[in-house]
Chain A
Amino acid sequence: MLWLTWRQFRAQAIVASAALVAVAIALLATGPHLASLFDSNGLATCRVGCGVDASNFINQVKGSGTEVVFYCSVLLVYAVPALIGLFWGAPLVTRELESGTFRLAWNQSVTRTRWIAVKLGLIGLAAMATTGLLSLMISLWSGPLYQAAQKAGGSDELSISRFAPPLFGANGVAPIGYAAFAFVLGVTVGVLLRRLVPAMAITLALFAAVQLLMISAVRPHLIPASSAIEPLSAVTFNGEGETDNGHLLLDLGTINRMPGAWIVNARPVNSAGQLAATVPQPCASMTNTWLQCLASHGVRIQVSYQPTSRYWAFQWLETGTFVSLAAGLGALCYSRVRRLT
C-alpha cells in the first residue's frame, strides 16, 4: 500500500524536489550578498537610531536584482499551495474514477477507506513539508530585508512589513496551513465532481476565494485590534494632503513607537474625538508647517492596529484555521469515498 502510494506519487515528488533544489540554488547564490550588505551598513550591531543605516541598506537593495528575487519568491510562496491543490489534490481520486482503475485498486485486501486515509495523510504531509521548506528558505533569505524595514520605520522606501496583508501569507508557518487546505480541498472537490478538469478549475476558484475572504474579512478580527489615539508628531505618513473640496487626506505609514505593527485602520479625529473629515480653515494652504498647524487645531490620528508582538500568535492562528478546515474537508471526503458507488 505504501509502496503503491509512493509509486503513483513519484513523478510529482520528483518535480517538487527539483523545483525546491532550483529555488535553494537561486537563494544561496543571492543570500550571502544580501547578508553582507546588511553587515556592511552596520545593521547587525546597530541598537538605537538605526533608521539612516536601514534606509541606506534598503536603497542599495531597491532596483537591484535582489529586489526582483524577493518579489518572485513572494509570488512563489502564494502560488505553491494553489498548484499543490490543482496538481496533487484534484487528480488524486478523479484519475482513479475516470480511468476506471478504482475497480482494481479498491477491491484488494486494503479497504477503500483505509486507502484514501493513507493517501490523504501521506501526500498531505508531503504538501505541508514542501511548502514549509520553501517558506523557511525564503523567510531566512529575506530576514535582513524585514529587519531593516522595521528599523527604518517611516523612511523605509520598500515599505514592506511581514505583518501586513500582502506579505503576511508569504512568511512563517501560514503557508503550511494553506498547503494542507489546498490539497484536501482539491481531493474533496475531485471526490464530489468525479471529473478531473472541472475539479481543478473549481479547486482554484474556491482556494482563491477563501484566501481573499480570509485577508479581507477574517484575519483582522482573529484577535480584537488594539486602539490608540496618537498625536501627528508620533506617526509617519506615506502621504498627506487635501482635496479641492477641503477633504483631509492622511495616509498613515507607521506608528513611531511601534515599528512593524499592522495598521488595520486609521482616521484623523478632532479634539472631541470625532472624525475630522475636512481641513480646519486656518490650515487651508499647504506649507512646510501644515502638519504642525493641523496638530495645533487638535487633529490627532485614531488607529486600530495589531502590535508587532502578536505576529506569531497570528501566524499560528492562521495556520490552525486552515489546518482545521483541511481536517473538516478530509472527514467529508473520507465519508463520501466510503459511500461512493
Chain B
Amino acid sequence: MIWLAWRQFRAQSIAAAAVLALLAIVLAATGPHLASLYNGAGLSDCHANCIALAGNFVAQFEGSYIGSLYYLGVVLMYLTPALIGIFWGAPLISRELETGTFRLAWNQSVTRTRWTLTKLGLIGLASVATAGLLSLAISWWASPIDAAFQFGGQYTPVSFIRMSPPIFDARGVVPLGYAAFAFALGVTAGVVLRRTLPAMAVTLVLFAAVQILVPVFIRPNIIPPDQIIAPLIAPSAGLTIRGSQGTTGGVLTVQGDFSKPGAWILSDQSITPAGHVFAVPATQACLGNKGQACMNWIARQHLRQLVTYQPASRFWPLQWIETAFYFALAAVLCALCTWQIRRRNP
C-alpha cells in the first residue's frame, strides 16, 4: 500500500525535490554575502542611529539581484501552497475516478477508507514538509532584510515589516498550515466534483479567496488589536497633512506620527473632540502648505490621534493561531472527503 502510494507520487516528489535543491543552492550561494552586508553596515551590534544604518543597508541591496531574490522568495511562498493544492491535491482521487482505476485499486485487500487515509496522510505530510523546508530556507536567507525592515525609518516601506500581510504569510510556520489546507481542499474538490480539471480550477479559486479574506477580515481581529488615543501635537515632525495642496485642495485629513517598530498599523486617524473622524474640506489656512499658519489652525481644532495596531510581540502568537486554524480546516476537509468516499457508490 505504502509502496503504491509512493510509486504514484514519485514524479511529483522528484519535481518538488529538484525545485527545493535548486533553490537551496541559490540561497546558500547568496546568503552569506547578504549576511556580511548586514554586519558590514554595523547593524548586528547597533545601539544608536540604527534607522540610518538600516537605510544604508537597504539602499545597498535594493535594485540589485538580492532585491529581486527577496521579492521572488515572497512570491514563491505564496505560490507553493496553491500549486500543491492544484497539482498534488486535486488529481489525487479524481484521476482514479476519471480513468476508472479506482475499480481495481479499491477492491483489493486494503479497504478504500484505509487507502484514502494512507494517501491523505502521506502526501499531506509531504506537502507540509515541502512548505516547511521552503519557509525555513527563505526565512533564514531573508532574516537580515527582515531585521533591517524591523527598525523602521524612511527607507522602509511600511508594508514590508513581517507583521503585516505580504510578509507575514511568507514567513514562520503559517506556510505549513496553508500547504495542509490547500492539499486537503484540492482532494475534497476532486472527490466532490469527480473530474480533475474543474477540481483544479475550483481549488485555485477557493484557495485564492481564502488567502485574500483571512488577512483582510480575520487576522486583524484574532487577538483584539491595541489602541492608543493621545492628543495630536500640531507642529510635530511626523505630521502628514493630506488634501491641502494645489489651488483648490481636497478633503483635508491629518495623520500623526506613530512609531512602534515592527507594529502592524491597522488604522491611524485623527478624531475631533466630539469623537468623529476628522475630514473636512480644505481650509484657506492650509491651502498650498502654508506651514505655520496651517499648524496653528490644526492646533486650534484640539484633535486627538487614534491608532489601532497589533504590536510586533504578537508575531508568534498570531502565527501559531493561524497555523492551527488552517490545520483544523484541513482536518475537517479530510474527514469530509473520507466520509464521502466511504458512503458513495462511485
Q: Enumerate chain A interface residues (CB-CB to B < 8 A).
A: 11, 15, 37, 40-42, 52-53, 55-57, 59-60, 83, 86-87, 91, 95, 98-99, 196-198, 200-201, 204, 239, 241-245, 247, 249, 251
Contact = CB atoms under 8 A, between A and B. Distances in A.
Interface string B176-218: 0000000000000000000011101100100000000000000
B56 interface: yes
Contacts of B99: 98
A244 B250 contact: no
Contacts of B248: 40-42
Given A197-B196, A201-B87, A239-B155, A60 B242 contact: yes
A197 B243 CA distance: 53
Given A197-B87, A239-B59, A60 B197 contact: no
Nearest to B86: A200
B59 A251 contact: yes
Contact of B87 (A53, A59, A200, A244): A200
A270 B99 CA distance: 70
Nearest to A11: B198
Contacts of B63: 251
A95 B200 CA distance: 14
Given A249-B56, A251-B62, 16 more contacts: A42-B248, A52-B288, A53-B246, A56-B243, A56-B244, A56-B250, A60-B250, A60-B251, A86-B200, A87-B200, A91-B197, A200-B87, A241-B55, A242-B56, A243-B40, A243-B60
A244 B40 contact: yes
20 contacts: A41-B246, A41-B250, A42-B246, A56-B242, A56-B246, A56-B250, A57-B250, A60-B250, A60-B251, A95-B197, A196-B196, A201-B83, A239-B55, A239-B154, A241-B56, A241-B59, A242-B56, A244-B56, A247-B60, A249-B59
Interface of B: 11, 15, 40-42, 55-56, 59-60, 62-63, 83, 86-87, 91, 95, 98-99, 154-155, 196-198, 200-201, 204, 242-251, 288
Contacts, number: 81
Contacts of B204: 83
A194 to B, nearest CB: 14
B149 to A, nearest CB: 15
A15 B202 CA distance: 11
Nearest to A216: B68
Contacts of B11: 198
